[in-house]
Amino acid sequence: MITKLISKIRKTNAPIVVGLDPMMKYVPEYIKKAAFAEYGETLEGAAEAIWQFNKGIVDAIYDLVPAVKPQIAMYEQFGIPGIMAFKKTIDYCHEKDLVVIGDVKRGDIGSTSEAYAVGHLGKVQVGSKAYYGFDEDFVTVNPYLGSDGVNPFLKVCKEEKKGIFVLVKTSNPSSGELQDRLVKAKKEEKSSKGIAESIAADSMDRPLYEIVGEQVAAWGTACMPEEGDYSYVGAVVGATYPEQGRILRKIMPKTFILVPGYGAQGGKGADLVHFFNEDGLGAIINSSRGIVAAYQQEIYSHFGEKGYADASRAAVLAMREDISSALKCEKNF
């Protein structure tokens, strides 16, 4: 699936993933009105509204971008009808040949991660039959529980030729509280000969996200597709932390980086260049609000509510241009 993702990025010339995070405040009134008229102001009504909203956007952008990233929380909040809209969205995006990254940030002890991996990427056994539960192409994974929590995903990825993106340095303001903490080099990594060396070893102390990045790179080494330079174990590194992105790019040369935080969260095109490798690949930039709620921004307001999907298309084109200029500019210097 990483091979398909890269081939689609090349074809569209857009290392962009559209975050399908349909908060109710983004959904145009006319869509909500129609959904509530049919289902009432119920969870089913909300689910119908977000599904129709998504469908409009997907129809408007599927030829421009390689991938979408539905954030499951935005669906889960509407209970079971919400989850049904999540699944419907995945299936529809597959019909449109989009790569689907399920932003689920799961991660647990081994047997439990296995259930998540099976449910989101693989097939679950029921008696003599096997079924896909949600059938995303990639999912995001939280690394806090260590390898036990990640290995079951790798196993299913290998079987299904799918992939994951492991959280390394997230885009939110408080991501540093744990992820930036300086971690002491392990004893075996340190000289134990004396105080001088012990002080020198201080220079080996690194932020936790680097440790996680190294681990992701190591997992990736064992998870290379049959062809291509990138592993199917990716990483999440926020656009809001370009300096860390530059370092992590070097630590994880064969890792595809999913970069959230562009646009509404503050990341700009120029911040993105260091997330890419010299082959012009290695990163895919996510924008959610900035695209799905583009019509609510001043510069796209002329599209109006009814033109929300066209506004999303215009926002994708502008984002493609922004990234492309930034990458070109970088090459010239």
- Binding to its own copies by residue 119, rule CB under 8 A? yes
Q: Are residues 58 and 68 in contact, defined by beta-carbon separation less than 8 angstroms?
A: yes
Active-site entry in 55, 87, 96, 105: 105
* Nearest distance from C-beta of residue 319 to its own copies, angstroms: 20
Instruction: Say how many C-beta atoms besides its own lie within 10 A of residue 331's C-beta.
Output: 10
**Positions 133 through 162 that interact with its own copies (CB under 8 A):** 133-134, 142-149
| 179 touches its own copies by CB under 8 A | yes
- Pick from 175, 231, 244, 255 the residue near its own copies by CB under 8 A: 175
Question: Considering the complex, what minimum distance in angstroms separates the CB of residue 329 from its own copies?
Answer: 29
- Out of 18, 118, 235, 319, name the contact with its own copies by CB under 8 A: 118
| Residue 29 C-beta-side C-alpha neighbours within 13 Å | 3
Task: Determine whether 192 is exposed, middle or buried from the number of CB atoms within 10 Å of its CB (0-12, 13-18, 19+).
Answer: exposed
The verdict on 78 binding its own copies (CB under 8 A) reads yes
Between 87 and 155, name the residue whose CB sits nearer to its own copies: 87
Site mask for its own copies (CB under 8 A), range 31-70, x = bound: -x---x----xxx-xx------------------------
Residues 164, 232 contacting (CB under 8 angstroms): yes
Binding of its own copies by 212 (CB under 8 A): yes
Q: How far is the CB of 155 from its own copies (least distance, A)?
A: 14
Nearest approach, Cβ of 196 to its own copies (angstroms)?
10
CA-closest candidate to residue 216, choices 265, 277, 143: 143
Rounded Cα gap, residues 69 and 80, in angstroms: 20
105 is catalytic: yes
Write the CA distances from 163 to 56, 177, 232, 255, integer angstroms: 27, 28, 5, 11
Query: Is residue 280 a contact residue for its own copies (CB under 8 A)?
Result: no
- Give the separation between CA 177 and CA 160, rounded to whole angstroms: 35
The set of catalytic residues is 105
